[in-house]
Structure 1
Amino acid sequence: MTNPIVKPFWDAPTGSWQYVFHDPKTMKGAIVDPVLDFDPLAGATSTSNAERILSYVQDTGIEIVWILDTHPHADHFSAAPWLSQQLDAPMAIGAQVTGVQKLWKDIYNLSDDFAVDGSQWDQLFVDGAEFMVGDVPVRVMFSPGHTLASISYIAGDAAFVHDTLMMPDSGSSRADFPGGSSKALYQSIQGILALPDDTRVFVGHDYAPNGRDPACVATVAEHKTSNIHFHDNPDEQSFRALRDSRDRTLALPKLMLAALQVNIRGGRLPEPEDNGRAYLKIPMNYFEPR
């Protein structure tokens, strides 16, 4: 089995990790969870993060064959469409994204012509799907809990687990968004921890507790021994009590109501109105203040 070279890209404003992984022999690669920059005060998007990724890919000589989303993110916009256009590479996400689209279509009261069939992506991966990036085998693992559509990509010895696990000193990710479930999150994490101990687990976010530098990777063995939510091998009931209690104290992500209506469109802004400008909707008084 060929293992990939992984290049992480840090986005400080959203605490997000983006990745490029590639096969060192064939130089074929994939991009995971790229971030489109958004200034909420100006209502303006830009492509600084995506341009960093594009420059790295071009300078390194990587042929991108997939642009992969793990789920529709609540804390940043996806840059997948922009990179797809620049690199002529297909976009993919998990097949359960249609459930997220239906849920948020109702929350945003979108019109009947908004498609909830996942057609905004080129490929919808089912659980257990397998494909190759060069000589690197990639397996799709359905890993819901943080959202009902989350998937992980197991590429050789590298697992891109999105917002399911955090770094060991932060534990796990929240499960209180619409469609989230601490029960499903527990089962998903059990699947990740069942991977070989030397599997490199790349996380989607890091908030760098206690002033340390941002970090993005730990092995399955390190999570088993030092993850603050799993080192004692908790049963489902104990984990759910811990996770649910913690989630009740958390404010909603600042960009959630902006980001989801973009990301359920595959990272595209709503269609422009008759003045040629796109607009975002904010559902008033749907969520209780925290």
Structure 2
Amino acid sequence: MSVEVVPFFHAGSNTFSYLVVDPASSKAAVIDPALDYDPETDTLASTSAQALIEHVKQHSLHVEWLLETHAHADHVSASRWLRRHWPQARVAIGQGITQVQATLAPRYDMPEGFRADGSQFDHLFADNEAFQIGTLPARVIAVPGHTSDSVAYLVGDALFPGDSMFMPDGGTARCDFPGGDAAQLYRSIQRLLALPDQTRVFVCHDYGPGGRAVANETTIAEQRRNNIHLRDGVDEASFVATRQARDATLPAPRLMGPSIRANLQGGPVDLG
């Protein structure tokens, strides 16, 4: 089943957010929405998220889900802020968020009374859990490795892998955050590569490697042929060696501190 996917690009963090629409019911889900954070002034703005609101309003859509692929370390989530505008929508993430919260909360300045139990989210998805977006069938695929809570969403013929897989020339996600594991990521991505070749893949980030234009859509067939880290024929040991060598050269994300503090809770409720 081919579904309607509308991308929104957040240039400040090279993040793609997506609106997934069921034309039969006008119901929709938002995946990985972002707020605008200025580290110099420690302030938030909603320009990027407002574009989602305007599109939903113009097309008379009904947002049922605000879906996070994981607790991001490079941008501040807009999910809980958007729920103020769409109170019927449920903020959801994978069940692994409790492990991420338990690991990271002691390292960051979380609010007093913070609980590492996932209660900040409306729903915690189990691996292989099925759900609906209007009449569209959707399924959750746990893909730990980048983070313990990473999930991919398969909606009809559209796959949203979060940070696990990028465009083929971008490779795969880093695995050096606490709780990350390159061997685990290899096995997780094998589950995605086993999907039908024609499955459309909508990546969460793209940085335009080699100076090409930023892009956001590929296919499972293209990933199997051309992914620079994990194409067909690359075994687990080779992938782990490549991934670990690459990760050793990477600096921490510029917005990691404020992003983690916000996203362990599903993002801020307001911009104050």
Q: CA deviation at 1:13?
A: 1.2
- Is 2:168 the counterpart of 1:171? no
Alignment of 1:18-167 (within 5 A): 18-88=17-87, 89-108=89-108, 110=110, 113-167=113-167
- Is 2:260 the counterpart of 1:260? yes
Alignment correspondent of 1:230? 230
Q: CA deviation at 1:62?
A: 1.5
Alpha-carbon distance change, 245 to 157 in structure 1, aligned in 2, over 3 angstroms? same
The aligned amino acid for 1:193 is: L
Q: Which has the larger radius of gyration?
A: 1
Identity of aligned residues (%): 43
CA RMSD of aligned residues (A): 1.5
Q: Is the 8 Å Cα contact of residues 3 and 136 (structure 1) preserved in structure 2?
A: no
Q: CA deviation at 1:170?
A: 1.0
Alignment of 1:165-204 (within 5 A): 165-204=165-204
In the alignment of these two chains, the number of paired residues is 271
Q: CA deviation at 1:16?
A: 0.5
Alpha-carbon distance change, 111 to 46 in structure 1, aligned in 2, over 3 angstroms? closer
Q: Describe the SS at the equivalent of 2:12.
A: helix
The aligned amino acid for 1:134 is: G
Q: CA deviation at 1:96?
A: 0.9
The aligned amino acid for 2:43 is: A
Alignment correspondent of 2:245? 245
Q: CA deviation at 1:21?
A: 0.5
Whole-Å separation in 1 of the counterparts to 2:259 and 2:50: 20
74-83 or 56-65, which deviates more: 56-65
The aligned amino acid for 2:264 is: I
The aligned amino acid for 2:195 is: L
Q: Describe the SS at the equivalent of 2:163.
A: coil
Q: Describe the SS at the equivalent of 1:106.
A: helix
Q: Is the 8 Å Cα contact of residues 34 and 77 (structure 2) preserved in structure 1?
A: yes
Alpha-carbon distance change, 100 to 249 in structure 1, aligned in 2, over 3 angstroms? same
Q: Following TM superposition, where does structure 1 have runs of at least 4 consecutive aligned residues deviating by more than 4 angstroms?
A: 109-112
Q: Describe the SS at the equivalent of 2:99.
A: helix
Q: Describe the SS at the equivalent of 1:13.
A: coil
The aligned amino acid for 2:233 is: N
Alignment correspondent of 1:217? 217
Asked which structure has the greater RCO (Cα within 8 Å, sep 6+), the reply is 2
Q: CA deviation at 1:269?
A: 7.0
Whole-Å separation in 1 of the counterparts to 2:110 and 2:43: 22
Alignment correspondent of 1:206? 206
Q: CA deviation at 1:85?
A: 1.0
1:33-52, Cα deviation, whole Å (9 max, x unpaired): 00011000010001011100
Q: Describe the SS at the equivalent of 1:124.
A: strand
Alignment correspondent of 1:12? 11
